[in-house]
Amino acid sequence: MDVEPVGTAEPGRSGGRPAEQLSRLLDRVGNGDLAAAELAELRSALMHYCGLQSCRHTKGPPRPMNRRTFRHSFLLPDGSVRMLWELEHDTEPGGATRRSVFSSREDLAAAEWAVDTAFGGPVGAELPAADFLPPFGQGGPRGEDAPLVPAPAAFRRAYTEGDSAEHARRLLRRAANAGAPGWPVRIRLRAAIAHDITIITRRSAVVAGRQVSWSLYEHAFLLLDGTELSLWEIDHTRTPTGDPVCEVYTSQDAALDTAVRRIEAS
């Protein structure tokens, strides 16, 4: 099974000491000076990890535009984890790349909503203008009394960029089951711009005196129009030779039915 790494980021957003990563983050974002005082405690972090959380892209018109959200995790000496989100986009007139950092999911969701209006609207629930929460130091409600903002659909999943349409093609090519997704699904997946792979469960059982194992994976794809599509992969060894085989389904129920009813059936 050829699985691309999930949650990867560019070298500039990973590696090095946590304090160095924090300094780089604050240097490249437009609101770094305002955020520095609030984030001072992160300079003592023991570990740092950065991964791509969501992304959006259009080839135009009027021009190509991109929006990416990165999640930064800092492990503190007391064992707690502090999360930051970095929003990067080039949707403003002129196409210059802008970056901002946020310390709350609500502020981030509101900022993503504002940026995504350049794509023709946000992915997911609409956000009333009165609920917009600005980033560090720009006024507006913050803290426990701030209104909660519904997150866009793509915000709820950690996507990774790169070769997503090709990943879908390879997944469906190795599917051995007769009921694998057909051409309508394959055509839609040609517009995949990001994907996320999650292992749902892994089990083993003794069937007819032989050890049989199977794993269930969800392959979630973010499409060019902002919609999501998931395929469900069962990898199992219930074959005459015991060699592993892959089956792909369009629903989790169908995949689990195959695993429990057929693969584990004695």
pTM of the model as a whole: 0.49
CA dihedral 57, 60, 64, 69 (to 10 degrees): -20
- Is the model more confident about 205 or about 34? 34
Tokens read off for 58: 């259009």
| Whether residue 31 has pLDDT greater than 80 | yes
Which stretches within the chain are classed as H helix? 18-28, 32-36, 105-116, 164-173, 183-188, 252-257
Query: Which residues make beta-bridge pairs with 205?
Result: 212
- Residue among 83, 141, 99 at smallest CA distance from 10: 99
For the chain, give the mean pLDDT: 77
| Whether residue 255 has pLDDT greater than 50 | yes
Report the SS3 class of residue 28.
helix
| Whether residue 129 has pLDDT greater than 90 | no
Rounded (5°) CA angle 164-170-173:
140
| Whether residue 89 has pLDDT greater than 90 | yes
Q: What's the mean pLDDT in 148-164?
A: 53
Tokens read off for 145: 């009394």
Distance CA 163, CA 48 (A): 26
Distance CA 11, CA 72 (A): 13
